[in-house]
Amino acid sequence: MNDVKKIALRFRGFLPVVVDIETAGLNCKTDAILEIATIIINYDIHGKLSLQKSNFCHVLPFVGANLDKEALEFNGIDPYQPLRFAVKELDALNEIFIPINKEVAATGCKRAILVGHNPTFDLNFLRAAVKRCDYKHDPFHKFTTFDTATLAGVALGHTVLAVACQKANIAFSTQDAHSALYDATKTAELFCHIVNNFRFC
């Protein structure tokens, strides 16, 4: 079996892809997506899961999107700051989905599976954007996810990302948190740590 295709066997034909989304609120139907980060997971040469390919987009609020003041204060994002070089939702979906679809095909997987820390939030926002843009090539399974909060609770005894990373000896900066790319990277490192240290019965 080609090394690149082993990931398909490990997860029953699903390619794990870590996703983190920063938003302007909690309602996936009305509130804007502001950042999307994805990290493709694969086997390294040592037979361990590792971070392979990352992608990141600043996203312009869709027309009519709600921008909750408290959410913006929490994540520190100015949606219309010109140096963000933000792109429209459709362009952002193309930017992140095309490499994932290519990797799904290259690894012999059936679909991608979203890995996230409390991933229902990210999946719901992603699916809302797919619907708004009438996007036809969404690579992700419609409802199945891998939740690192649950996995960390079982494996490390804590569900908070920063604390779980600390317990796994993964460096975590609270100053850099709440950036989609940073949070996705730490979630990916945590996922790999837990899976790589799991022992089958």
Q: Does 188 map to a domain?
A: yes
pLDDT at 57: 97
125-144 tens-digit pLDDT: 999 999 999 999 999 999 99
State residue 46's pLDDT score: 82
Q: What does DSSP assign to residue 66?
A: B
Instruction: List CB contacts of 92: < 8 A, sequence separation 6 or more.
Output: 33, 36, 57, 59, 129
Report if residue 139 sits inside a domain: yes
Over residues 14-62, the pLDDT tens digits come to: 999 999 999 999 999 999 999 999 999 998 878 899 999 999 999 999 9
Q: Which domain covers residue 80, as residue numbers?
A: 3-196
pLDDT band at 200 (very low <50, low <70, confident <90, very high): low
CA dist list (Å): 120 to 15, 86, 148, 201: 18, 24, 11, 29
Is 178 one of the annotated active-site residues of the chain?
Answer: yes
pLDDT in tens, 176-186: 998 999 999 99
Percent helix, strand, coil in the chain, to 5, is: 40, 25, 35
The number of domains in the chain is 1
> How much is the average pLDDT of 68-73?
96
pLDDT on residue 93:
98
Domain membership of residue 40 (yes or no) is yes
Residue 125 located in a structural domain: yes
Residue at token pair 């963000």: 84
User: Is residue 89, in this structure, part of any structural domain at all?
Assistant: yes
CATH of the domain at 86: 3.30.420.10
Predicted local confidence at residue 84, as pLDDT: 94
Tally Cβ neighbours within 10 Å of residue 90.
Answer: 15
Amino acid at residue number 196: N
pLDDT of 1 above 60: no
Averaged pLDDT score across all residues of the chain: 95
The answer to the question of residue 75 being in a domain is yes
The predicted structure's pLDDT at residue 3: 67
DSSP single-letter state for residue 176: T
Decide if pLDDT at 64 tops 90: yes
pLDDT cut 90: percent of the chain above it: 90
* Per-residue pLDDT, 116: 98
With respect to residue 105, please indicate whether it lies within any of the assigned structural domains.
Answer: yes
Catalytic residue among 137, 141, 158, 178: 178
Answer yes or no: is 201 within a domain: no
- Residues β-bridged to residue 45: none
Task: Please say whether the beta carbons of 147 and 164 come within 8 A.
Answer: no
